[in-house]
Amino acid sequence: MKTKTPWLFILFWLFVSFLTLFPIYWLFVISVKPAVELFSTPEVLLTKVYWQNYIDVLNDATLRRYMMNSLIISSCNALLCTLLGFLACYALSRFDLGGKESIFFWTITNRMAPPAVFLLPLFLLLTQVYKIGDFSLADTRTGMILVYCTFNLPFAIWTLRPTVDGIPKELDEAAYVDGASPFKVITEVVFPLARPGLAVTLILTWVFAWNEYLLAATLTNFNARTLTTGLSEYVTTTGTEWGIMAAISVFTLIPALIVFSLVQRHIVAGLTFGAVKG
Amino acid sequence: MQSKTLGWLLLAPTLIILFFFGVVPFLYVLWVSFHQWNPFAADPGMSFNWATNYRQVVFDAQFMASLGVTAAFVFFAVVSELIVGYLLAQAFMKDFPGKAIFRTIHTLPLIMAPIIVGSIWKLMTTPSIGIIPHLLHNWFGYDLNIGQSAAAAFIVTIIMDVWHWTPLVTLTLIAALVSLPPDPFEQAQIDGANKRQIFWHITLPMIRPAILATVFIRLMDALRTVDEVLMLTGGGPGSATRYVGVHIYKEVFPRTNYGYGSAISVIVLYLTIVACWLLYVSLIAPRTSKKG
Amino acid sequence: MKIANKLGASVLALIVATGGAFADDAFWAEAAKPYQGVVLHGVTESTPPSNYVKDVLAPEFEAKTGIKVEIETTSWDQMYDKAIKDMEAGTGIYDMVYIEQDIIYAYLSRDFLVDTTQLLKDHPELKAPTYDEANFTTFANYFKGDKGDLFGIPMEAFIKVYLYRTDLFNDPEVQAAFKEKTGKDLKPATTHEEYTEIADFFTQWGKDHDEQLWGTTAQAHTGHPASWYEFFESVAPTYGVYSWGIDAGNNYAASVANGGTMNSDEAKAAMKWWLHLRDVAPPESNQSTWTEVATTFAAGRAAQGLVYGENAAWVASDETKSRVVGNVGVALPPLSDGVLADAESGKGYIGYYDGGAFGLPVTSKNKEASMLFLEYIAQNEVQPDWAVAGSRITNTATYDDPKVQDLDKKLNGYFTMLKDQGRLFAGAPAYPFHAQVREATAPIFYQILTGAIDPDTGLDQMAAKAEEELTALGYRK
């Protein structure tokens, strides 16, 4: 509503951004220092830049494969969870299902389990139970996509529920009156209105899958290893390769940023109300 | 209303996946929790021991202490994230130059894997060679030593968590705020309500479900925190940051104490559910009393 | 992963240039015939010796036999967890698992591993002419069962040595100052008192000259088992407290009251000595695991320290990682009276001899092909370059190789010490409950480090806790 540029406001954001960025800047600093310089009095500003870590990372074919696995697993998982979560929320919101509030609460309990102890049953299930002939889900991307649903699907349902509930029922009722099919109502009436919520859910489920470490470390061996498990390979008894780890992390920011910018537009595609002020 | 069958069909894939990958493993853990089982004990097999593991938990000072520090950690971390996250989300509701860039910057910490976040903060806070102790020493003469001071380590884990996860709160609350219908606010302004009244009587009630969902997620994730803390302090100094996630990890991984570790996990899961249920009931009640 | 091992890459080039023409090539091709198309899977920790296996030996083996070998490298705790889960559940994912010396007893107690001696007896056609158990150094004995059969093929071995900075110790100005202060000549310490004196001196020197220099390293992390290991494997033995102070022959007693030594006066003296060193060590020491200790030393921040041997080579020779290249001296750790005699007679030891082997899980589906690979990496012929890449020696003949002797000079005699004095060092005690007792007592140990408990009370509590855990596990009756 105001027309003049809010300088104070921008100053505030610059400050917040500084706090946010400093650790990331430091990550970059670590990535462009030779290991020998890490254990000495720190300098805030970089004086010289050492690119060898990046060259090493770029030349490593294994890492590219891990990056690909990470991208595929987290993207498929995020899409799957957002879609299923959206449908589940629509069901919970629009249908008079018996015990639906209990089901809603139950879904989230799947995310609460302390992960360390669930690794053993998941390992046993994937290697020995959920298999057909010689094909088991262990060490496959499909397996990881499904396993990640245990924490991402509840998350999707919980973040989407307020959004779907907030879309007035009158809208889809009107569409039904006009003779639309449930499919049409979901895709053409509810979906567009839920877009900001869906975008946020997609981003965050993607992030959770992208960053997951413990499950991937235990349940993958050769074929479906992800970048985070690759990182742990640099923590060794003869020296943690901080520089390489940092360089890989800087690289992981790139695909993440692309995914973010693709999805973020849809958050703003929602309306912004000048009236809502803090 | 539509036929219930369609509703169940829409829910079915979710229920099936969660059953096979959530419920079945849980039943296994529950079963193990009633056994004495350490593969490197003199008797490496599983032997049923009734509720001995659960009885033992009560006398486990280490575990009780761990619950205590975890509660404190989760409380301070989640409350800070909620307050900061909400203020930032509100600030993003305004239009200002460079907003898209600022928002992207603000989401960057989210895309860092916990193991990396732990590494960065470890390198930034290592006594004498980390940048933060260095600057604190130069500016204030204060020697930050997270390897020695329990309070310092505790606070650093909270700051790390707030840095890492506040953007999640901001993003979910932005999604909630942009989805709000404009009418009540316009009406309130016409009625001459001030900002505070609008916040307490309109904004807050309307985004309560979103806040609830966010608090839940952060609450349960903070309870499960393992990687960052393990990397940063290893649970130390002493047991100062041995949060339940870390405690369980150490019980199950190096100590291979599968039976007892399962019992602790079941208890932690139970406590989490109870805590969340209480929160849910207390916050959801006002919501369902209203329409929709 | 690959990058961790730049040395390995250059070595690979060397091998491609010179090698490939061993007389026994025919054997490998012939023996591997039945196993064409087999893919072997191994899991190991990501260390230079393991990376050498992955990047150099595995491809070489594949070229000769057609058997593909995939090695999964991961972090230390993940590696154990994955190997144990696989073997416990009988999944058969792995055909080779890395066995650190300290977990072999746990694996043997569970019959997780194949008896390789027996396997070769049953399948004489698998026995390579260049493979012989007699080639190994005595380190292989750690991987033998009751009957003397070999259950793991040694792939790395190190001793935890006393490193000191030759540039500082030989600096006349420093020597004069030390003489003036203590009335003694500056030379590597042989007793604990001398070591403390030198440590105090250099820490003070660093302060006085405003240098980033301290008198010693300390692997004293307050939340990571590395500190526990430094005390029980490297410090306590030099005070005559062996096998963690637990007496296996006496119903696994740990406390003095029951006949153990975990809280003996010697153990308490050792703890106080070490805590003092921690106080004069660089401030990062209470966040230091084995990784950071080596890095601290390599960064030139400590004048002396106990450092794991696997780091000795890069600290002394890799300029991209170390500031003290060419200035690293090697000595035996400082000792109490009688400890050396104990070690000579086999009753005790003066420090930690660590390392690891590759074992063949009984759950493996490709035991024969896997055995071939294990024989391949155990040949004398492949050892020298591997030794250079990973500063590890497992075969006696390797000591005499010119490349190794060259490197030995750069390392100021580390390999010679490993060869001549290695027998004075010992691996972890023969306990199948290694990690269990460590984790049970570690929380108390960390509290001693933070000062929440005084050392005497702390060690008493640890001894009691160790006995409690051993009772719960069923070892102590």
- Give chain B positions within 8 Å (CB) of A91: 6-8, 10-11
Say if B217 falls within a structural domain. yes
Q: Does A256 touch chain B (CB under 8 A)?
A: yes
Domain CATH number, residue B69: 1.10.3720.10
Q: Do domains C2-158+354-418 and C161-345 have the same CATH topology?
A: yes
Domain count, chain B: 1
Tokens of C272: 């106080």
Cβ within 8 Å, pair C310-A127: no
Is residue B191 very low, low, confident or very high in pLDDT (cuts 50, 70, 90)? Answer: confident
Query: Which token pair is C217?
Result: 């390293």
Is position B15 within any domain? no
Determine phi and psi for B266, rounding to 5 degrees: -65, -40
| Residue B170 counted as domain residue | yes
User: A9 and A112 in one domain?
Assistant: no
Report the residue of chain A nearest C226, measured CA to CA. Answer: A237
B138: which chain A residues are within 8 Å (Cβ-Cβ)?
A: none
What CATH number did the domain enclosing A243 receive? Answer: 1.10.3720.10
Residue A195 resides in a domain: yes
Q: Are residues A66 and A193 in the same domain?
A: yes
Q: Do A156 and A222 lie in a common domain?
A: yes
Q: Across the interface, do B276 and A112 touch by the CB < 8 Å criterion?
A: yes
Least CB-CB distance to A233: which of C73, C85, C322?
A: C73
CA-closest candidate to residue B171, choices A5, A266, A70: A266
Q: Which two tokens stand for residue C431?
A: 């306990």
| Tokens read off for A101 | 């509030």
Interstrand relation of C96-100 and C39-45 (parallel, antiparallel or unpaired): parallel
Q: Is residue A154 part of a domain?
A: yes
More confident residue, A228 or C120: C120
In the three-class reduction of DSSP (H, G, I as helix; E, B as strand; rest coil), residue C388 is classed as: helix
Q: Give the domain range for residue B255.
A: 62-289
- Arithmetic mean of pLDDT, B109-122: 89
| pLDDT at residue B111, as a whole number | 85
CB contact under 8 A, B257 and C436: yes
Q: Do B28 and A120 touch (CB under 8 A)?
A: yes
- The answer to whether residue A273 is domain-embedded is no
Q: Which of C273, C169, C262 is nearest to C220 (CA)?
A: C273
Q: Is the dihedral of CA C118, C119, C124, C127 positive or negative?
A: negative
Summarised one tens digit per residue, pLDDT across range C417-463 is: 999 999 999 999 989 998 999 999 999 999 999 999 999 999 999 99
Rounded mean pLDDT, C158-185: 94
Q: CATH class for domain C2-158+354-418?
A: alpha beta
Residue A276 resides in a domain: no
DSSP B202: I
Q: How many residues appear in chain A? A: 278
Neighbors of chain B by Cβ distance (3+ pairs < 8 Å)? A, C
Q: Would the pLDDT of A248 be above 50?
A: yes
In the predicted structure, residue A274 carries a pLDDT above the cut 80: no
ipTM: 0.89
Range of the domain at A109: 60-268
Coil/strand/helix, residue A236: strand
Domain C161-345 grouped into CATH 1.10.3720.10: no
Segment 127-166 of chain A within 8 Å of chain B by CB: 130, 146-147, 149-150, 153-155, 157-159, 161-163, 165-166
* Residue A278: inside a domain: no
What pLDDT does C60 receive? Answer: 94
CA distance C236 to C252: 18
B204 touches chain A (CB under 8 A): no
Tokens of C221: 């992390």
Reduce the DSSP state of residue C10 to 3 states and report it.
helix
Instruction: Look at residue B139 and tell me if it is in a domain.
Output: yes
**B36, part of any domain:** no
pLDDT of residue B292: 36
pLDDT for A268 equals 59
Give domain status of residue B6, yes or no.
Answer: no
For C173-327, list the strands marked E by DSSP. Answer: 304-307
Condensed to tens digits (0 to 9), the pLDDT of residues C4-60 reads 444 444 444 444 444 444 557 889 999 999 999 999 999 998 788 888 999 999 999
Residue of B nearest to C108 (CA): B40
C43 contacts in chain A (CB < 8 Å): 221
pLDDT value at C257 more than 60: yes
A1-4: list long-range contacts, CB under 8 Å, 24+ apart.
Answer: A1/A274
Identify all chain C residues contacting B241, using CB atoms and an 8 Å cutoff: 223
**Are A125 and B171 within 8 A, CB to CB?**
no
Is residue B74 a part of any domain in this protein? yes
Say how many domains are in chain A.
2
Residue C245: DSSP 8-state: G
Residue window 154-183, chain B: list those with CB within 8 Å of chain A. Answer: 163, 167-168, 171-172, 174-180, 182
Q: Say if residue A65 is in the same domain as residue A46.
A: no
Nearest to B273 among A109, A169, A197 (CB): A109
With an 8 Å Cβ cutoff, is A222 touching chain C?
A: yes
Which of B:138-177 have CB within 8 Å of C?
143, 145-148, 150
